[in-house]
Structure 1
Amino acid sequence: MKSAVCTPDSRIALSCQIGAVKWLRWNADQIAQARRQPVAFGGEKLPISFLKHADEQTVLALWTVLEAIETADLQDRSFDSWGVIASPSFFGRLSIAQSVRRYHQEGAWGISPQLIPHQSLHAMSGTISQALRIHGPNFGVGAEPCAGPDALLLAAAMLYDGQLPGLWLALTGYETEWIPAADGQHPTAPACQALAVALTPDENASGTRLRFGSAGPQAEKESPLEMSPAFSLELLAEEMSDPCRLPEGRWRLSDSHWIEFEAVLGVEKNLS
């Protein structure tokens, strides 16, 4: 990945367009309700059981992507050849804890074999790919807290060679760590946040441009992705979606990589 992103002759390694952005914050009841709702895309509805065994972060991530599509008026666009990168936080911890408790109470009959594939690191990106009928690459990244910088670096590497027409990036995480109670009670899960971003090759369209850089001066401010998860996703969504209030300076992803945002007014194509 580093060989793809780092270029010795230029500090700007890649520029891409932010085509859609959506941030959601849902509690456990909202996620449970969304799980039971039919998922529709491209005029087709998926089976009502599509999200039955999905992790809570997967449910929220998918609905965030769907709302991003609706907000950006991309319902008629095909994402067939796009890629998907999903970066959850402590993925599967809540579902596994609940399943272990059911196993102790009900035995093996209380556990579904669907638990394993739906709690793997790539389950979130795979679910989004299925819902949007995407046949491009999809990867789960990190799963530890604040893995967003790793996901952004992987997004840069995947877009660098120009083979993908676009990429969906989904970042999720609970506002506080969910810890099962020692007395066996089922505490209420904390609120969960999700950020969905559509990245496309830079075509000088009006909106917000995301630029990835390497080497050179260190980032001038700490990345919001390294702050408390309670604020980072919302802050990043606000700054990506409003070209009029973009942050100044570079935002550090690692010791040698950074991102910066730029408002683009758009360039008219010469048709003559």
Structure 2
Amino acid sequence: MGTRTDPSALRWLIGAELSRYRREVPLTLSELASRTGIGKPKLGHMEMGRYQQFPEDIATVLRACGAEQIAIDRLTTLAQRSDARSWWAPWANVMPDWFKTYVGLEGLADGAFVFESMVIPGLLQTEEYAQALTLGTGFVRPDHAERFVSFRQARARRLTDDEPLTLHAVIGEAALRLRVNGDETRRAQLRHLAAMAERPNVTVQVLRPEDGSHSATPVGKFVVLDFAHVRPIAYTELLDGAMYVQDPDGVRTYSMVADNLRQVALSPAESRALIREHAGA
């Protein structure tokens, strides 16, 4: 299985790029409409990812914004990649709308940095751990819990498919200690985590309290997604939604926090040893 193209996520990514180029000039939507001959409502829908972005329209908009030909080529090529349906469609009714966008983007990403202070990141969870965690949160209906867990397992295959995601995860030591559905579930999860950390595309580091302060203290969980054809974005979850950071300066701030976490946390080898110790292995 290769990279899972998601039409709605592609439109979102392209729309974010179009908006960036327009704002960098800067131009209002009305001014851009005057330059391109494309109606203001259509331009707005293109930027929001709510309208199919045809390659010729993308090229027209980017030329009006003074973009280089290489940028025009990469975005028009990206616009031609689409499947008939999103890979997560079978689980659409068990996911909140805000999360659908994220998993679509994750499926398109080439690399991801994830920071989780309290739980094991979703891509690295076992089925039993994911089920217990899902039921414990109360955010998923009990009758949807089993299907939501099957979705998580399908999502986790992003790390083992033909074109695997490159994942770098920094995890708080509290996540290793968290008791989820009893000690055996926790230990099995940690054994799985240690095994995944041996994969060439997966790096896991553990952040301990004794390692000192770090710049993520006021931030909490966040993700930075890297893409081959568009600029990176940052993502953080709220209690009932999510926030996407697209502005280059904002994304750079999250990337700097990620670099700080890499420096403060235990090395990957030390982290694997600590995970195995917590697993009783």
Structure with greater helix share of residues: 2
TM-score of the alignment, normalized to the shorter chain, above 0.5: no
Structure with greater strand share of residues: 1
Considering only CA atoms, is the larger Rg found in Structure 1 or Structure 2?
A: 2
TM (normalized to structure 2)?
Answer: 0.28
